Amino acid sequence: MKRSAFFLTALALSAAVVGCGGSDAPATQAGGDAPDATTAAPSALSLSVPEWYQIDEAARTVTLRITAGATNVQNYWNFNGFAKGSGASIIVPEGYAVTLEFTNQDPNMAHSVGIEEWRESNWPGSVEVSPEFPGAVSSNPGSLIDSTMPGESETLQFEVDRAGEYAMVCYVPGHATIGMFVKFVVSSDGTAGVMM
Ligand SMILES: [Cu+2]
**pLDDT tens by residue, 118-149:** 999 999 999 999 999 999 999 999 999 999 99
Decide if 68 contacts 113 (C-beta within 8 A). Answer: yes
Q: Please give the distance, rounded to the nearest whole angstrom, from the Cα atom of residue 194 to the centre of ligand 1.
A: 21
Mean pLDDT of 79-96: 97
Average pLDDT over every residue of 91-105? 98
Q: Which amino acid is at 67?
A: T
Residues 40 and 3 in one domain: yes
CB 111 within 8 A of CB 147: yes
- Assess whether 25 and 96 both reside in one domain: no
Secondary structure class of 105 (helix, strand, coil): coil
Cα gap 49→172, rounded to integer Å = 29
User: Which pTM value belongs to this model?
Assistant: 0.79
Residue 76 CA to ligand 1 center (angstroms) comes to: 8
CATH number at residue 183: 2.60.40.420
Virtual torsion, Cα 188, 91, 132, 65, nearest 10 deg: 140
CA–CA separation, 192 and 106 (whole Å):
28
Question: Residue 122 Cα, ligand 1 centroid: separation in angstroms?
Answer: 16
Which one has a higher pLDDT value, 113 or 41?
Answer: 113
Q: 72 with 141, same domain?
A: yes
pLDDT at 44: 77
Averaged pLDDT for residues 162-175: 98
Phi, psi for 38 (deg, rounded to 5)? -65, -40
| CA 181 – ligand 1 centroid, Å | 9
81 and 55 within one domain: yes
Distance 77 CA to ligand 1 centre (A): 5
Residues 149 and 97 sit within 8 Å (Cβ to Cβ): no
75 CA distance to ligand 1 middle (Å): 10
Please check whether residues 10 and 54 belong to one and the same domain: no
Ligand 1 centroid, distance to 177 Cα (angstroms): 10
Domain match, 88 and 23 both = no
Average pLDDT over residues 169-184: 98
Residues 11 and 39 in one domain: yes
Are 186 and 92 in contact, with CB atoms under 8 Å apart?
A: yes
Do both 38 and 60 map to the same domain? no
Size of the chain in residues: 196
Query: CA-CA-CA-CA torsion for 82, 8, 36, 91, nearest 10 degrees?
Result: -20
Enclosing domain of residue 94: 45-195
Q: How many domains does the chain have?
A: 2
Nearest residue to 40 (alpha-carbon basis) of 53, 23, 55, 27 = 23
Query: Of the candidates 139, 137, 157, which has an alpha carbon nearest to the alpha carbon of residue 149?
Result: 139
Whether residues 149 and 78 fall in one domain: yes
- Do residues 62 and 156 both lie within one domain? yes
* Residue 185 near residue 133 (C-beta atoms within 8 A): no
State the Cα–Cα distance between residues 69 and 77, nearest whole angstrom. Answer: 6
pLDDT grade, residue 154 (50/70/90)? very high
Q: How confident is the model at residue 45 (pLDDT cuts 50, 70, 90)?
A: confident
Cα 90 to middle of ligand 1, angstroms = 18
Confidence of residue 41 (pLDDT cuts 50, 70, 90): low
| Residue 176 and residue 102 share a domain | yes
Q: Ligand 1 centre from 149 Cα, in Å?
A: 10
Compute the distance from residue 189 Cα to the ligand 1 centre, in Å.
Answer: 31
Assess whether 109 and 22 both reside in one domain: no
